[in-house]
Structure 1
Amino acid sequence: MDDDDLPRRRDDVLAALARQPLDPLSIDELDERMALLEAEIERVKTHKAAAASHKAIADALFKKG
């Protein structure tokens, strides 16, 4: 079985991003990268909050008691 046939790990993109050298990037490129990462963090936080809300609603709906 080839590696291409294996399912991709969810953290492949993050691991690749963390391995990228930062030395070749200019100050402006670093600022842009930071802004994109901060925007992604906010997107994940928003999604996490929505998921937690949905879970709480489901838990309350199906609560045994």
Structure 2
Amino acid sequence: MAIFDDEPRKKPRPHEIGQDLSLLSVDELSERIALLRDEIARLEAERAAKGATKSAADALFRRG
């Protein structure tokens, strides 16, 4: 009889900056690295898009 089968599985906690990594396996660490790399790429793309928008606005409103 499996008592614990009906209990919902807990989602793994998202990565937190500065958290203790000693309890994570090598696979878990690799997964976190991949997720963080994807997030960095997303942040850089957003920064580039905002930079392009700002440059266009600056060029439009530049006084000469």
Q: Same fold (TM over 0.5)?
A: yes
Higher relative contact order (CA 8 A, sep 6+): 2
Aligned alpha-carbon RMSD (Å) = 1.3
Residue 64 of structure 1 aligns with an amino acid whose one-letter code is: R
TM-score in terms of structure 1 length: 0.72
Question: Where do 5+ consecutive residues of structure 2 fail to align?
Answer: 1-14
Percentage of pairs with the same residue: 48
Larger Rg: 2
Displaced runs of 4+ in structure 1, greater than 6 A? none
Larger relative helix fraction: 1
Number of residue pairs the alignment of both structures matches: 50
Q: Match for residue 64 of structure 1?
A: 63
Question: Where do 5+ consecutive residues of structure 1 fail to align?
Answer: 1-15
Q: Secondary structure at the match of 1:39?
A: helix
